Structure 1
Amino acid sequence: MSFSSLGLSPALQKAASAQNYAQATPVQEQAIPAVLKGKDLLGIAKTGSGKTAAYALPMLDLLQTNRAFRNRFVKGLVLVPTRELALQVGEVFLGFSAHMAIKVKTLAVFGGVSINPQMMKLQGTDILVATPGRLLDLVESGAVHLSDVEILVLDEADKMLNQGFEEEMRQILKLLPKKRQNLLFSATLDNKVNAIQETLLVNPVVVEVKEEEKPLEELQITELAYLIATEKKGPFLRYLIKEQKMQQVLVFVSATQRADHLVTKLANNGIKAVALHSGKSQGARTEALALFKKGKVPVLVATDLAARGIDVPVLPHVINYDLPRSSKDYIHRIGRTGRAGETGEAITLVTPEDAHHFKIIQKQTKRVIPTQETEGIDLKGF
């Protein structure tokens, strides 16, 4: 379905087209008309379903004629669980609003960086994208007020609740006006999410986009595993990157220390790489992701938690240097590649110690992943 049939104003239809949004996804088809009508909404949809545009487009449409005329009294509020997601969502809003005649100012704020620049940038902000903790800091300092919020979005509500933001969210909800539009998006509808939606939403439109195994197959991902001795994992990774001339590859590891160590080893062997993990400052994480997205650094080494906010439309390679802890993490990892109609390759390195766990992952994901021996490969010089 095209965006022209969803009820968006010509300005937002043009903005969607300019951002290469050709056809609406299922969640966008159902959510956008409901949001434009002022309905509360419960959206159950996973990462990659297009949910950000599903609320960003109608929010911009509604608020372009009802902007925040009182300085520092925002009209739209989007709560997200991580710094990376805040930046990502903020970029989506900025991308759409750049093509609008009436400018709606959006700002993303999060912890881990100095609060003073964020306080100054809040001047004239209409839509605020924020992590809960930093938002409360800004409210306490008087830098932003929430009493005029007309549209509230809880994005990835399940992650916010599971990561311990429940109390912060309750504090924020108390600061909001009772009369407002509420949009709640979550990948799953567990007990915590169900409890908060029952108290938050009023006669909501329910949009549920179920994903099965098929979408991963549609992403055209080639999966392959290499059986490798533990002590040869490093040299073999460098061999793969150099022999296949990989220009952009996301490498997953199990811990922050592993990420930093691997980056050092790669650099010592002439391969540019950056690490992305929770131990890095926000500035360092933002810079690492930007360098990788722009293609200035070919290898990004990340942990599962930090990778939640990574969204690279065209990513040719993913390598599981360390095996993921769960089958869900495996699916999430390999789903970073093969997107936007492109083909992708997902490689997993399996040591003898990993063999049993790898079998469990295949069984739980109902996948038979081809495996190759590596004993005959000459790794001298790598």
Structure 2
Amino acid sequence: MTAFSDLGVDQDIIEALASKGIESAFPIQEQTIPLALPGQDVIGQAKTGTGKTFGFGIPVVQRLGLTPEPGVKALIVVPTRELAVQVYEDLQLLTSNRSTTVVAIYGGKAYEGQIEALKAGAQIVVGTPGRLIDLSNQRLLDLSHATEVVLDEADKMLDLGFLADIEKIFQKVSQTRHTQLFSATMPGPIVALARRFMTNPIHIRATDPDEGLTQANIKHVIYRAHSLDKDEVVARILQAEGRGKTVIFTRTKRAAQRLVDELGDRGFNVGGVHGDMGQEQRERSMAAFKAGKVDVLVATDVAARGIDVDDVTHVINHTIPDDDKTYLHRAGRTGRAGRTGIAVTFVDWEDLHKWALINRALDFGQPEPTETYSSSPHLYSDLNIPAGTKGRLTTAPKADRPPRGDRPARGERRSDGPVRNDRRAGEGSGEPRQRTRHRRGEGDVVAAEHGAPAEAPEGQGTHDGQGAEHHDGKPAPARRRRRHRRPAGGAPTGA
């Protein structure tokens, strides 16, 4: 590994990196930093999790100098809010020994704090296209002096339909600029964008010739699973030996929240990041995951590029991604910074055609995923799950019920309701249950002693329009409801 000092990086930046234990450059950094520091336009292409942020961040910070003048001099454009936060934090580290200030500009947060940071003279802006254009149109963000421009995760910009916004942003920045473009994949429209807005860029591909399309340090496990058994399988995987932080991806935000609730009920320490959550909630959940307060994060693809956590050991695709690019970005959340990782993918029966396309594109050589259930022996051996593991850490709380000795016996009247069951005799009495019918009309009480059914006296079983009884001799509903309304003295109402 190459030391940053060998790449011409300033000592204060080297010290800032060393404070976090970062002392050697990754291949993408080793190849791009020496080119970008003098001002060469660079296209950096490398798999996610290989250190692209420092690859463009170090040249940007160093080229601005130790004490840059107030005002926006550098602009880093990212596709998602989560990625904006991650890049902002990395640049905060790089500028920790300098007077340079960094501000993150993205939606879902109040304008006031972002505007105040801009008015205070922040020199580096990290932002998403929508909020950048919004503040620029309001003349609250001046990009005309931005001479350092970076497009990060450019292929995701294409997927989210941001290319038109990117063109608007390029019209607002300085025409004399140093431009860097970083991406995990390089589709045609991104290449065309680079040709339009970059000057003689050098294309750097930081890959190992024997690595293949997927990272060699990630173990890929593909299962054909039943949708009703997935949660149980996930819960058992989460108890595998050596499991650290785990990211679980779902296709929809509703599925994400349902899985958060389900795993929480099973006793796991779980958080979520999806579109139904407010931005503050998403940031708190992500911060708790990075800090280790929760070790399972359920997310939709909106967060796939912003989860920059080195110690993620497992990625689980609860639902299969739509294409091979999404698969790579999901799986790239593990095996970062040279570590090893495991990516588990569940394929539903109706999604086998999607897996066929991903398998062919990534050359997995697994056209038929292994049919797997929570009880399958190979599940335990493949993922190092202890024998006998079940899918629940704690028992779900039971509804509050009185102790058995305090419950009324069958047939006894509760204080708050009617007789529970009139079919059985009183417990322990040895006699049939006595039944009593109260009729309110004249205050008469007709009772049947020792189990004999009560019968109305002759002539009182019909309704003559004068009394309160129905044709069957029972009180009218209104009178029955009034029966329990007694004054404080205890006498019936109207008595």
Deviates more, 1:257-266 or 1:22-31: 22-31
Corresponding residue for 1:45?
46
Map of 1:1-382 to 2, 5 A cutoff? 1-65=2-66, 67-69=68-70, 73-98=71-96, 100=97, 102-122=98-118, 123-210=120-207, 214=211, 219-242=216-239, 246-354=243-351, 357-358=354-355, 360-368=357-365, 371=370, 373-374=372-373, 376=375, 382=392
TM-score (norm 2): 0.69
Q: Kindly tell me the number of residue pairs found equivalent between the two proteins.
A: 377
Structure 1 pair 128/315, CA: closer, same or farther in 2 (3 Å)?
same
SS across alignment from 1:300: strand
Give the alignment's Cα RMSD to 1 decimal. Answer: 2.7
SS across alignment from 1:94: helix
Encode CA deviations 1:318-374: one digit per residue, 9 max, x unaligned.
222222222333333233223334332222334444556545544443225684743
- CA distance in 2 between counterparts of 1:141 and 1:356 reads 47
Deviates more, 1:313-322 or 1:219-228: 219-228
Encode CA deviations 1:172-222: one digit per residue, 9 max, x unaligned.
222222222222223333332222222211233332324667278765333
SS across alignment from 1:347: strand
- CA distance in 1 between counterparts of 2:47 and 2:218 reads 18
TM superposition shift of 1:167:
2.6
Which of the two has greater helix per residue?
Answer: 1
Amino acid at match of 2:343: A
1:224, 1:371 within 8 Å by CA — same for their partners in 2?
Answer: no
Encode CA deviations 1:222-266: one digit per residue, 9 max, x unaligned.
333445433222233223324658552211212111101111112
Percent identical: 36
SS across alignment from 2:336: coil
- CA distance in 1 between counterparts of 2:390 and 2:46 reads 47
Amino acid at match of 1:104: T
Structure 1 pair 348/162, CA: closer, same or farther in 2 (3 Å)?
closer
Corresponding residue for 2:434?
none
SS across alignment from 1:239: helix
Structure 1 pair 241/129, CA: closer, same or farther in 2 (3 Å)?
same
- CA distance in 1 between counterparts of 2:30 and 2:354 reads 40
Deviates more, 1:219-228 or 1:80-89: 219-228
1:44, 1:209 within 8 Å by CA — same for their partners in 2?
Answer: yes
TM superposition shift of 1:163:
1.8
- CA distance in 2 between counterparts of 1:281 and 1:323 reads 26
Amino acid at match of 1:121: A
Deviates more, 1:229-238 or 1:212-221: 212-221
Structure 1 pair 270/170, CA: closer, same or farther in 2 (3 Å)?
same
2:256, 2:299 within 8 Å by CA — same for their partners in 1?
Answer: yes
Structure 1 pair 216/273, CA: closer, same or farther in 2 (3 Å)?
farther
- CA distance in 2 between counterparts of 1:50 and 1:76 reads 20
Structure 1 pair 234/13, CA: closer, same or farther in 2 (3 Å)?
closer
1:235, 1:379 within 8 Å by CA — same for their partners in 2?
Answer: no
1:277, 1:285 within 8 Å by CA — same for their partners in 2?
Answer: yes
- CA distance in 1 between counterparts of 2:125 and 2:24 reads 27
* Unpaired segments ≥5 residues, structure 1: none
Amino acid at match of 2:104: A
Deviates more, 1:367-376 or 1:258-267: 367-376
Q: Which of structures 1 and 2 has the bigger CA Rg?
A: 2
Amino acid at match of 1:128: V
Structure 1 pair 43/334, CA: closer, same or farther in 2 (3 Å)?
closer
Amino acid at match of 2:135: L
TM superposition shift of 1:91:
0.8
TM-score (norm 1): 0.88
Structure number with the bigger relative contact order (C-alpha 8 A, sep ≥ 6) is 1
TM superposition shift of 1:90:
0.7
1:323, 1:349 within 8 Å by CA — same for their partners in 2?
Answer: yes
